[in-house]
Amino acid sequence: MLIDPFGRPITYLRISITDRCNLRCVYCMPDGAAGWIPSQKVLSDDEIVRVASAAAGLGLTSIRLTGGEPLVRPGVVALVGRLAAIAGIKDISLTTNAIQLARLAHPLAQAGLRRVNISLDTLDRDKFRQITRLGNFDEVWQGILAAEQAGLRPLKLNTVVVGGFNDDELPSLARLTIEHAWHVRFIELMPVGSSDTWPDGNLAPTPHRYYPIQQIHQKLCDLDLEPTVVPSGNGPARSYRIPGALGTVGFISPLGEHFCEKCNRLRLTADGRLRSCLLKAGEVDLKPALQSDAELEPLFQAAIQLKPIGHMLSGEAKQSSPNSAMSQIGG
């Protein structure tokens, strides 16, 4: 098993299988973000499987496919099937905007995908179009229902909370869990890339977009949330339940309440760089080894040595981050 310099076992690999996306969410891909990675630099299916196999040999048991939007990658169902066949990999999940999930949920489940996280920042069709710049809310909703029907559980809905945009919808989003066995998670806006480049439209001024976890809790105080046992694969979320609800409400707070002490993950970018932290610089390029058939295990060891004890950011640092746009990192 891989153990980082601070004693944390590393069991989870997030693999960005593409940096491309069929949406342009303002907090993920702001105006002025770098262009797409050239296709010849994106890892092939064989290379991804080789990295995942090396990870499994080192004790990593869980894989999450991310992007960009992973469902725009050609052959994604076959790739899931190959990853599911790797000895030692016990759980394969996927983060998606659900635009293509209505047609792919059942094939993905049959290939070995176990669960999905779906981005859903608003229930308002006009606001959804505004924050995604290209999105159709109804397509996403049909994707959510298809994932549920395909048995992809736990089904998690991720809401990035943006002050002045969707903070008024938090109770409505939380109430989705009353009649559905879904897990709605509210996520603090993370300082990845520069929010100064967002198209303003009807969005709040830049200093007011960060909405701290304490205010999120306060917004939901009338729901009488009770702490609950977290569902499988809940990661850093702190989970609660509305009394009598089928699902749960979770909170992910990278700034307001650090969760770095429990971090068990590495990230692989679409062009083959192994990152030890989403919010801190430092990565190991696997591409030369993949092209020369060199061993990958020492590179995994090198990557975890770069893993920091924490990101050291705070609410006051929310607008200053050295990282690229989220779409380039892999989420």
pTM of the model: 0.90
The domain in which residue 279 lies consists of: 2-329
Residue 164 three-state SS: coil
Question: What is the distance between the alpha carbons of residues 69 and 275, in angstroms, rounded to a whole number?
Answer: 19
Q: What is the pLDDT of residue 316?
A: 43
Q: What is the pLDDT of residue 197?
A: 52
Q: What is the pLDDT of residue 89?
A: 98
Residue 287 three-state SS: helix
Q: What is the pLDDT of residue 189?
A: 83
Given a cut of 50, the residues of the chain with pLDDT beneath it are 194-195, 315-323
Q: What is the pLDDT of residue 62?
A: 97
Q: What is the pLDDT of residue 241?
A: 97
Q: What is the pLDDT of residue 321?
A: 45
Q: What is the CATH number of the domain that holds 64?
A: 3.20.20.70
Q: What is the pLDDT of residue 209?
A: 80
Domain count for the chain: 1
Q: What is the pLDDT of residue 317?
A: 43
203-252 confidence digits (pLDDT tens): 665 567 888 899 999 999 999 999 998 666 556 778 999 999 999 999 99
Total Cβ atoms within 10 A of residue 127: 16
